[in-house]
């Protein structure tokens, strides 16, 4: 087990009507004026924004709205939010939505305490000068951003999508009501499940040996997600299934599932280039394509790790043929994603061989010449993985 430090300051309020506690709990913590940020119109049409605003008003907390956060959130709206915070004396940032809204809120809270351009943090990875406190009303289980230190932001002008993370950026409070996820479209639900599962894969496959406490937690979460995913898709209003998925999504990216490991994150880097190339590509869908392709390319570095994964998570019985057993685990992973309705090839995402070279320069800028830990990858390796993913 490697040395590690772990911080988890988030207060989780989980269960039915959790969002009704937003106003009182923020007021208790000294909030006076909140930037309320959200995505499109679904949160408004469902009445959620009205309920949150009523809770804030009843507690005497003022608010300023900033809607319009898109999937793959863009730095332009973050800059707008930063300006609002500075001009109007905002003292908390409240995100109502999924990972994109939360990531945008984190970046806004970061930039509000900085005199320069907030993109500097994503470009140079410098330490923050301060971060406004952040609260979250979660509506889409996927990214785990409600409990993590990480934020991923796109810069359309530069054609970049990159992440930044510090413990100061972890939300102070996360309100998690599984009922808010009942109306999520099946595709969005499936993409979220894929994303959280891939957060576990990034941590399970690295260059560290067995870490039983962490590994068993990781694989238990994988098995839970596999069991609950079909229940959620068949019965979207199954409260217990939605609750298990929502809580698992947070645990998948809070950090516990990687303690004592180096973690890999090569595949997330490869996928970020897809959704920077085409911002309409859903992150989870891109991961469903890229992770099995990465697995095929790197498994020979430690096939026993794949065999262990296949046996524990999918119940595969080893045959003694190391390559075949490792491939069976990879095939099972791809089949799981496909069973959720996720794509299996880049072609399905509208990405073709001629696009590969367009992604390499920004991949290099984001990840460096060599990246990953399970297997050290070069830009030539990245090209080959993209080719595997084509069809």
Q: 201 and 161, same structural domain?
A: no
The reported pLDDT for the residue numbered 297 is: 98
pLDDT along the chain (391 residues), means of 10: 89 97 98 96 89 97 96 96 98 96 98 97 93 97 94 94 94 98 95 97 96 97 97 97 97 95 96 93 96 98 98 97 98 98 97 96 95 98 98 87
The CATH number assigned to the domain holding 119 equals: 3.40.50.1970
- How many domains are there within the chain? 2
Domain extent for 356: 186-390
Q: 218 and 134, same structural domain?
A: no
Strand partners, 34: 63, 92
Q: With respect to residue 198, please indicate whether it lies within any of the assigned structural domains.
A: yes
Q: 234 and 286, same structural domain?
A: yes
Q: 370 and 228, same structural domain?
A: yes
Phi-psi group of 235: left, alpha or beta (phi > 0 → left; psi -120 to 50 → alpha; rest → beta): beta
The reported pLDDT for the residue numbered 6 is: 87
Angle between helices 266-277 and 379-390 (to 10 degrees): 70
For the entire predicted model, the pTM comes to: 0.94
Distance CA 120, CA 117 (A): 6
In contact, 376 and 370? CB cutoff 8 Å: yes
Distance CA 85, CA 39 (A): 18
Total length of the chain = 391
The reported pLDDT for the residue numbered 131 is: 97
Distance CA 82, CA 390 (A): 39
In contact, 101 and 137? CB cutoff 8 Å: no
The reported pLDDT for the residue numbered 391 is: 87
Tens of pLDDT, residue by residue over 109-126, are: 999 999 999 999 999 999
Q: Report CA-CA distances (Å) from 333 to 290, 314, 330, 362.
A: 11, 9, 5, 28
Q: What percent helix, strand, coil does the chain show, rounded to 5?
A: 55, 10, 35
Nearest to 136 by CA among 18, 15, 254: 18
**DSSP-based three-state secondary structure for 29:** coil
Spatial neighbors of 174 by CB under 8 A, at least 6 apart, are 10, 11, 12, 13, 135, 136, 138, 146, 147, 250
The reported pLDDT for the residue numbered 43 is: 84
Q: With respect to residue 3, please indicate whether it lies within any of the assigned structural domains.
A: no
Q: 166 and 21, same structural domain?
A: yes
Q: How far is CA 255 from the centre of its chain?
A: 12
């Amino acid at each position: 087990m490697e040395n590690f430090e772990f911080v988890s300051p988030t207060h989780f309020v989980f269960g039915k009507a959790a969002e009704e506690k937003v106003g009182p709990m923020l007021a208790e913590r000294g909030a006076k004026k909140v930037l309320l940020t959200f995505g499109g119109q679904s949160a408004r049409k469902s009445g959620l924004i009205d309920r949150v605003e009523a809770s804030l008003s009843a507690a005497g907390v003022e608010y300023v709205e900033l809607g319009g956060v898109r999937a793959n959130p863009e730095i332009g709206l973050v800059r707008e939010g930063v300006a609002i915070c500075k001009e109007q004396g905002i003292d908390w940032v409240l995100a109502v939505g999924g990972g994109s809204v939360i990531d945008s809120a984190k970046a806004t809270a970061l930039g509000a305490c900085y005199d320069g351009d907030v993109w500097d943090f994503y470009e140079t990875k410098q330490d923050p000068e301060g971060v406004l406190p952040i609260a979250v009303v979660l509506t889409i289980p996927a990214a785990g951003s409600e409990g993590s230190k990480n934020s991923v932001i796109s810069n359309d002008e530069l054609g970049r999508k990159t992440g930044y993370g510090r413990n100061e950026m972890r939300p102070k409070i996360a309100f998690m009501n599984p009922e808010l996820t009942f109306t999520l479209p099946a595709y969005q639900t499936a993409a979220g499940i894929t994303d959280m599962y891939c957060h576990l894969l990034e941590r399970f496959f690295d260059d560290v040996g067995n870490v039983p406490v962490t590994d068993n937690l990781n694989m238990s979460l994988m098995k839970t997600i596999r069991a609950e995913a079909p229940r959620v898709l068949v019965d979207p209003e199954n409260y217990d299934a939605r609750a298990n998925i929502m809580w698992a999504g947070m645990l998948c990216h809070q950090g516990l599932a990687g303690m004592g490991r180096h973690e890999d994150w090569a595949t997330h880097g490869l996928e970020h280039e897809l959704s920077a190339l085409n911002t309409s590509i859903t992150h989870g869908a891109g991961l469903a394509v890229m992770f099995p392709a990465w697995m095929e390319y790197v498994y020979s570095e430690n096939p026993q790790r794949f065999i262990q994964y296949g046996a524990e998570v999918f119940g595969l019985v080893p045959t003694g043929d190391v390559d075949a057993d490792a491939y069976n685990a990879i095939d099972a992973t791809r089949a799981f994603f496909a069973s959720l309705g996720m794509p299996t090839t880049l072609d399905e995402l509208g990405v073709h061989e001629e696009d590969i070279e367009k992604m390499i320069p920004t991949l290099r800028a984001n990840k460096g010449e060599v990246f990953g830990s399970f297997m050290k990858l070069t830009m030539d390796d990245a090209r080959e993985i993209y080719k595997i993913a084509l069809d």
